[in-house]
Structure 1
């Protein structure tokens, strides 16, 4: 006759086989998670936030104000180059460049002639404080900013504008 166990507890080697996960199972789960992350993360939009768009507007206004101040201080005409296609604005005084990301729409309204010469790609500041004037609009879906340069005073203002969703 065989001996029967008096304790209802299972044997120690049976417990060891069933407790926890095997290393291969954990590695498979991690591989699946990594594969899903590699597929999903690139498709998530990395849109420019409202705060970031505002910082681009402030940086643009600061660059324009610095060029106006340099024109007054040096008593020379300074042109700030605006390239909407390349999504960049370049200071005529310092050479500093402000670049905009691809999801920000850049529209400009610039004078076609300034000081008896063709313009259209720059905002010129004169030693008197006047300028050719112009507007640079930065927008993303839902909101935007206009940086306006007054032709008479050369003053630079930032105006928030609400975008209509299509």
Structure 2
């Protein structure tokens, strides 16, 4: 009977460890997904600026953890547990907790950096001011 109890304890302990690993994987996946979604929005804005020959912005609300693209009504949300930091041109800091990345018809942008962080995981989006190139990197 003692052996059976010991075996059951080891099995339950093993499932607990597996469960913890799976849940932490979900956090990392959610962070990566949020970063990729934002990169898609930034690339859309850059492409639209080039094609339509007009300025486009991605407006980030740091208080609400949301962002929008200038010609769209949709509000994209970033999970609440993800900390967002934006570095951009001073004139693109439009208010308390509001920042924009602007793309111009010639392909350039105001440039900047967006960091999405949760626990020890960090994804960094770099926007080159001269070329408007958008790079995503895990740190």
User: The TM-score by the shorter chain falls in which range?
Assistant: 0.7 to 0.9
Bigger helix fraction:
2
Name the TM-score, length of structure 1 as normaliser.
Answer: 0.63
2:81 is matched with: 103
**Residue correspondence of structure 1 range 4-83 to structure 2 within 5 A:** 49-83=27-61
**Higher Cα Rg, which structure:** 1
**1:1-60: CA deviations, max 9, x gaps?**
xxxxxxxxxxxxxxxxxxxxxxxxxxxxxxxxxxxxxxxxxxxxx876111110100000
Name the TM-score, length of structure 2 as normaliser.
Answer: 0.74
Does residue 148 of the first structure (1) align with residue 126 of the second (2)?
Answer: yes
Does residue 159 of the first structure (1) align with residue 137 of the second (2)?
Answer: yes
Alignment partner of 2:29: what SS? helix
Cα gap change, 1:135 to 1:95, in 2 (>3 Å): farther
In 2, the alpha carbon distance for the partners of 1:102 and 1:80 equals 19
**Residue correspondence of structure 1 range 117-156 to structure 2 within 5 A:** 118-120=91-93, 121-156=99-134
| Deviation, structure 1 residue 93 | 3.0
Structure scoring higher RCO (CA < 8 A, sep ≥ 6) equals: 2
In 1, the alpha carbon distance for the partners of 2:136 and 2:119 equals 18
Structure 2 gaps of 5+ residues are: 1-22, 94-98
Task: Report the count of equivalent residues.
Answer: 111
Larger CA deviation: 132-141 vs 95-104: 95-104
| Deviation, structure 1 residue 64 | 0.3
